Amino acid sequence: MGHLTSRDAYRNLSDRINWFTQGAPESETLYKILQVLYTEKEAKWVALLPVRPFTLKKAARVWGTTEAKAEKLLDHLCNKALLVDSWHNGKRKFVMPPPMAGFIEFALMRTRGDIDQKYLAELYYQYMNVEEDFIKDLFYATETKLGRVFVQEPVLLNDKANHILDYERATHIVREAEYIGLGLCYCRHKMFHAGHPCEIDAPWDVCLTFDNVARSLAEHGDYARLISKEEALDALERSYASNLVQIGENVREHPSFICNCCGCCCEALQAARHFSPMQPVATTGFIPEFSEEKCVGCGKCARVCPVLAVSMKEGENGKKKAVLDPDICLGCGVCARNCSVKAITMKRRIQQVITPVNSTHRFVLQAIEKGTLANLIFDNQAFANHRALAAALSAILELSPVKQALASKQLKSVYLDRLLSMQEERKQKKRDAQRIK
């Protein structure tokens, strides 16, 4: 690798980041960000690593070095939160996190002196809030969203609370987690350094990570502090009190994070405002319903709505009433929580919100929608064993026929075509058997 120039090292790293389903559009600002986060040597190392989880042995082979030296390098990269490690059946594995939620946030989830965080925050602001290509790609390149909103459970009446599913509850995610990490809110930290401090003075220490991500960030570099379930529930309560929106990974099982977001700093909520009515994240399964009889026209619901989905309109009698734009509404429940006269209740949306089962399911869906499924499956670095390939194919078999057809077209794989055909044959036999009965 010695013949590579500095520019080549960061270009190769950028290419590797963009091999993943969630990438980062190239720009001069991106190169400057990578130069802050990675030394030239680190960029060369990471550019060669697999996208999906890999072992120490795999890293040593890719780098052409001993396992002892490779482990030292891997630990160093974990300490900078450029890699995350985990344990599976007693075997340690590593993964290169995506840009978001990943190494971009991790760099500002604690205060640190090894990099110029103000300079980095200014670069982030330029890349995301001014240039916007990254934000458009992150939130709008696929139908399947990276994040989803959690409804604020305290606003649900008893009859509605009985209809909320476990995975729709932030409290359930907290109680099910093996490890919980608490870190600084990257968004508010970034905006503070970039000269745009939070308009509502929301708390910073409310960023929640879970399970392997939480453990790795806590063990390597103190990017998060391991906390109890009670402390995590307290972070949710503090966030509710500050009118923050809970946005987590868009999966039903074991999401890796829940952010507590404000409309003035969060990139997702800013995108919701800027590109309305296009939604940057999956909404909750609920939507507010306003009672004209009870509404007193105080306007507080409109003031606290993080995505400006509520406005005040003058009625026939000259009295102002709250009006909801359902195409913009996230269903977070912040408006209902702030209504002192209880004129707002949360009801189930008519159209069901579909949530991917797990991260593999989400990756496959997004890869199909982005046209990069072949990269995800056939990259030897991404899926180096049959078990990982089987997980991806298993996720494909659970998709709708339309998505399966798209997957088959992208892969042009006789094997996958036959697999889908066999599945359809089994379904037909089952239907035939039911008719005979």
Sign of the C-alpha dihedral computed for residues 40, 44, 47 and 50 taken in this order: negative
pLDDT beyond 60 at 337: yes
Number of CB atoms found within 10 A of residue 113's CB: 6
Of 318, 348, 378, the one marking the end of a domain is 348
Does residue 414 belong to any structural domain of this protein? yes
Note the Cα 280 to chain centre separation in Å: 11
90: exposed, middle or buried (Cβ count in 10 Å: 0-12, 13-18, 19+): exposed
pLDDT bin (cut points 50, 70, 90) of residue 375 is low
Does residue 417 belong to any structural domain of this protein? yes
Task: Classify 149 in phi/psi space as left (phi over 0), alpha (psi -120 to 50) or beta.
Answer: beta
pLDDT beyond 80 at 417: no
Q: What's the per-residue H, E or C state across the chain?
A: CCCCCHHHHHHHHHHHHHHCCCCCCCCHHHHHHHHHHCCHHHHHHHHCCCCCCEEHHHHHHHHCCCHHHHHHHHHHHHHCCCCEEEEECCEEEEECCCHHHHHHHHCCCCCCCCCCHHHHHHHHHHHHHHHCHHHHHHHHCCCCCCEEEECCHHHCCHHHHCCCCHHHCHHHHHHHCCCEEEECCHHHHHHHHCCCCCCCCCCCCCEEEEHHHHHHHHHCCCCCEECCHHHHHHHHHHHHHCCCEEEEECCCCCCCEEEEECCCCCHHHHHHHHCCCCCCCECCCEEEEECCCCCCCCCHHHHHCCCCCEEEEECCCCCEEEEECCCCCCCCCHHHHHCCCCCEEEEECCCCCCCCCCHHHHHHHHHHHHCCHHHHHHCCCCCCCHHHHHHHHHHHHCCCHHHHHHHHHHHCCHHHHHHHHHHHHHHHHHHHHHHHC
Does residue 280 belong to any structural domain of this protein? no
Between 78-92, 122-136, 196-210, 368-382, the lowest mean confidence (pLDDT) is in: 368-382
372 and 329 in one domain? Answer: no
411 or 112, which is more confident?
Answer: 112
Number of CB atoms found within 10 A of residue 324's CB: 19
365 and 315 in one domain? Answer: no
Q: Given this model, what pLDDT does residue 427 score?
A: 74
353 or 106, which is more confident?
Answer: 106
pLDDT beyond 70 at 172: yes
129 CB contacts (<8 Å, ≥6 apart)?
135, 194, 267, 270
354 or 428, which is more confident?
Answer: 354
**Whole-angstrom distance, CA of residue 413 vs CA of residue 426:** 20
- The whole-chain average pLDDT of the chain stands at 88
pLDDT bin (cut points 50, 70, 90) of residue 415 is low
- Could you give the number of structural domains in the chain? 2
pLDDT beyond 70 at 411: no
402 or 176, which is more confident?
Answer: 176
360 or 147, which is more confident?
Answer: 147
* Domain interval for residue 291: 286-348
Between 23-32, 207-216, 412-421, the lowest mean confidence (pLDDT) is in: 412-421
429 and 364 in one domain? Answer: yes
Beta-ladder partners of 181:
209, 226
Q: Given this model, what pLDDT does residue 291 score?
A: 92
pLDDT beyond 50 at 136: yes
Does residue 201 belong to any structural domain of this protein? no
pLDDT, average across residues 89-104:
91
Token pair of 210 as six digits: 């879970």
pLDDT bin (cut points 50, 70, 90) of residue 419 is low
Does residue 416 belong to any structural domain of this protein? yes
**Whole-angstrom distance, CA of residue 262 vs CA of residue 244:** 5
Phi, psi (rounded to 5 degrees) for 5:
-85, 170
pLDDT beyond 90 at 233: yes
Q: Given this model, what pLDDT does residue 381 score?
A: 46
Task: For 301-334, write each residue's pLDDT tens digit.
Answer: 999 999 999 999 987 777 899 999 999 999 999 9
Task: Read off the pTM.
Answer: 0.85
Does residue 341 belong to any structural domain of this protein? yes
pLDDT beyond 60 at 395: yes
Task: For 7-52, write each residue's pLDDT tens digit.
Answer: 889 999 999 898 777 889 999 999 999 999 999 999 999 999 987 7
Does residue 340 belong to any structural domain of this protein? yes
Q: Given this model, what pLDDT does residue 212 score?
A: 93
pLDDT beyond 70 at 211: yes
430 and 409 in one domain? Answer: yes
pLDDT beyond 50 at 2: no
Q: Given this model, what pLDDT does residue 1 score?
A: 44
- CATH classification of the domain holding 319: 3.30.70.20
Q: Given this model, what pLDDT does residue 287 score?
A: 95
Q: Say if residues 84 and 97 touch (Cβ distance below 8 Å).
A: yes
